[in-house]
């Protein structure tokens, strides 16, 4: 039985607008483990007993947060299980990838988001939550970057897309039958503001015109390559309404975990 590691990364030091995503892991866990919901995912995988919760990284100011994230992610990956990280803002994806990449000679990032998060720097901060994918691609931490659900693209973003060879599927071109051809292991980065605020109001940067949870779930279910690690980021409990967004985040976590377990068990998914 494939186990799934879960690690909380409660850090929003690099948020540009509002604080709050550092408080996200606890409410997502509460919904994930609530008796109100089934532990089965729609993939046909029961996550009961599969999730190894490694708690939250403690950021005490004594060490560089990036070093703490890298070390803790590496420790979790050393156990040999797929890993889901709960942010935190999107800045955490960069140090997470520094530990994921050495274990994956070939790797595609599937990034689902309203925003490209690929600024060279924002407000003078190269670690900004608007910049992780610039750092990731500069450091060669992925071979391919696919961004889905975008709806706030400017000329600087387009320059960065061309620089790094980013493949983009804006929200306006998202088709319900979308199926991506990916022939490497996958790192999945799920920003909750990819969803329309009608479904996920608990985010710092609400951007109307987004995806539905059903569209994201259906996209996840088309993946045939193994998801070796993932993050769910930018949930801001301070902006949520009656825990709606936490419930959606927990639902997506179950579907990601189900696909991790399902594809890990498929011989044809054991890609180099």
Annotated binding site for Mn(2+): 90, 113, 115, 117, 191, 193
| Residue pair 3/47 in contact by the 8 Å Cβ criterion | no
- As a whole number of angstroms, the distance between CA 101 and CA 136 comes to 10
Helix axes 213-222, 244-264, angle to 10 degrees: 10
DSSP 44: S
Radius of gyration, CA atoms only, the chain: 17
User: Per residue in 134-157, is it b (16+ CB within 10 Å) or e — as a string?
Assistant: bbbbeeebbebbbbbbbbebeeeb
Which residue positions form the known binding site? Answer: 90, 113, 115, 117, 191, 193
Q: Measure the CA–CA gap between 114 and 199, rounded to whole angstroms.
A: 14
Best CA proximity match to 188, nearest among 143, 145, 149, 222? 145
C-alpha–C-alpha distance, residues 129 and 228, integer Å: 22
Q: DSSP character for 1?
A: -
Give the C-alpha separation, 84 to 190, whole Å. Answer: 10
């Amino acid at each position: 039985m494939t186990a799934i590691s879960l690690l909380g990364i409660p850090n929003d030091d690099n948020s540009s607008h509002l604080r709050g995503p550092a408080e996200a892991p606890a409410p997502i866990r509460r919904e994930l483990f609530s008796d109100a919901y089934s532990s089965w995912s729609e993939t046909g995988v029961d996550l009961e007993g599969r999730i190894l919760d490694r708690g939250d990284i403690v950021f005490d100011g004594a060490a560089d947060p990036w070093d703490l994230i890298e070390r803790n992610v590496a420790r979790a990956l050393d156990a040999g299980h797929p890993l889901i990280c709960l942010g935190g803002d999107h800045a955490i994806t960069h140090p997470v990838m520094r530990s994921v990449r050495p274990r994956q000679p070939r790797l595609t990032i599937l990034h689902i988001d309203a925003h490209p998060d690929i600024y060279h720097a924002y407000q003078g901060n190269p670690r900004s939550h608007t910049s992780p994918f610039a750092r990731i691609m500069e450091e060669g931490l992925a071979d391919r970057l696919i961004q889905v659900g975008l709806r706030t693209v400017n000329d600087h973003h387009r320059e960065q897309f061309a620089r790094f060879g980013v493949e983009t599927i804006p929200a306006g071109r998202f088709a319900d039958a979308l199926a991506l051809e990916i022939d490497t292991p996958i790192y999945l980065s799920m920003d909750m503001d990819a969803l329309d605020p009608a479904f996920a109001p608990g985010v710092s940067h609400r951007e109307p015109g987004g995806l539905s949870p059903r569209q994201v779930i259906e996209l996840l279910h088309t993946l045939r390559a193994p998801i070796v690690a993932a993050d769910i980021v930018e949930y801001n409990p301070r902006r949520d309404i009656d825990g709606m967004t936490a419930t959606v985040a927990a639902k997506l976590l179950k579907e990601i975990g189900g696909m991790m377990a399902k594809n890990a068990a498929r011989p044809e998914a054991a890609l180099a």
